[in-house]
Every structure is written in C-alpha cells, then in structure tokens.
Amino acid sequence: MEDVLGKPKKSVIDDAMAIQKAVSLVKLGARLQVLQSELPGLSRDRLLSVYKEIRGSSPPKGQLPFSTDWFLNWAPNTHSSLFMGIMNQLSERNPGMEAVDLLVAGYTLYLQTVKAIDNPAILSMTRAWRLYRFCAAGVLTTHQCESCKAKFIVDPYDLNTGYQCVFCDMDTRVGPKVDFEKKMYQELDWAEDQAA
C-alpha cells in the first residue's frame, strides 16, 4: 500500500515487532549503536525513547569496542568461542531466522549456559554483536583444536596449523584474568600478572 505521496506505508504490525526486538536487545544490554545497526527501520529518536524507557537513563556515549585482540585473550576467547558455537548451531537449525532474532536467542542461550556452570558472563551483548559481525565479515573465524577437537575463535591470518586451544596449551594463558571467586572479569597489569 502507498500513501498519497506514493511512498510505501509503514505497517503498524512491523513497527510493533521492531520495537519489541529493540526492547529485547536493550534488556540484554545492547548499546544504542547496536540498535541502530540492527533495526534500521526505526528512527534514532524512537530507539532512544525505547532505550530510556527500559533503562531509565540515556545510553552511554562513546565508540563501541572495535579491537579483535580482545577476543583472542584466553578468558574472552573461551566465552567468545562458546557464543559463536551457539550462534552457529542456531543458524544451522534455523536457516530462515533474522539476524537480530538470532543474536537475541544466541546471547540469551550464552547467558543461560554460563549461569548454569556458575561462571561470570565475560561477553557483553555489545561485544557479542561485534564478534558476530567480525565473524560474518571474515575478520575472525573459528578453528578446530588439534587435541580436544573443539572450535575456538582465531585470527584467520595467524598460522593455525597444529592449533591448540587455551585449555589444551596452558602456555597460551597470558593477558587478562578472570577472578572466579568474585565472578568478574578483571584487567590486570602485567606487573601484577608477573608477581602472581
């Protein structure tokens, strides 16, 4: 259907469904930039209103995290690999599922999984979205560990012949650590890391 100017009319049902998707993303912790990218049919003002109504405050300002290096450190790598494994299974089993619905379902399953094993959720919704985009663009990929045969996130331009994951090769565990007692991800200085 078209309006008097010849432009296609917006469907009230499609609009309501898009708002519901925005609500789901905001409740999971997505930033405004994620909403704008995944729901281009809704205006920035509309998304901002949804965000403020759900969160009770304005969205944080600033750029989104962009580095691929973060996903390659041992603790984030294990969670990133878990998330992408979930996403790959969901997309294989639901080939017609929209990307935003896949993202919401995948991140929800990731949160449920880490909660079930009493582990802190290291991957935020925004980082999960960025990881998904990186993998879709080929900036990051998964590679099978030669020892345990599980698939882990790797840089596609690294030499991955004979790849061993962070669980099978303990020497690769450098960088940020997870404090499992406090159930949170911590950035530690190299000096603190060397002292431990």
The tens digit of pLDDT for each residue in 142-194 reads: 999 999 999 999 999 888 888 888 888 766 555 555 555 555 544 433 333 33
What's at 119, amino acid-wise? N
pLDDT confidence bin for 11, thresholds 50/70/90: confident
pLDDT over 70 at 130, yes or no: yes
∠ CA(76), CA(24), CA(119), 5° rounding?
A: 30
The tens digit of pLDDT for each residue in 67-121 reads: 899 999 888 999 999 999 999 999 999 999 999 999 999 999 999 999 999 989 9
What's at 93, amino acid-wise? R
The pTM for the full model equals 0.80
For residues 158 and 57, the answer to whether their CB atoms sit within 8 Å is no
Mean pLDDT of the chain: 84
For residues 8 and 2, the answer to whether their CB atoms sit within 8 Å is yes
Which DSSP letter does residue 61 get?
P
The answer for residues whose C-beta is within 8 angstroms of residue 131's C-beta and 6 or more apart is 71, 80, 83, 84, 123, 140, 153
For residues 166 and 19, the model is more confident at 19
| Three-state SS at 149 | coil
CA distances from 108 to 42, 59, 64, 138 (A): 23, 21, 21, 24
CA gap 115, 39 in Å, rounded: 28
For helices 44-55 and 12-27, the axis angle rounded to 10 degrees is: 50
What percentage of the chain carries pLDDT values higher than 90?
A: 62
CA gap 127, 194 in Å, rounded: 28
At residue 196, the pLDDT reads: 37
At residue 109, the pLDDT reads: 97
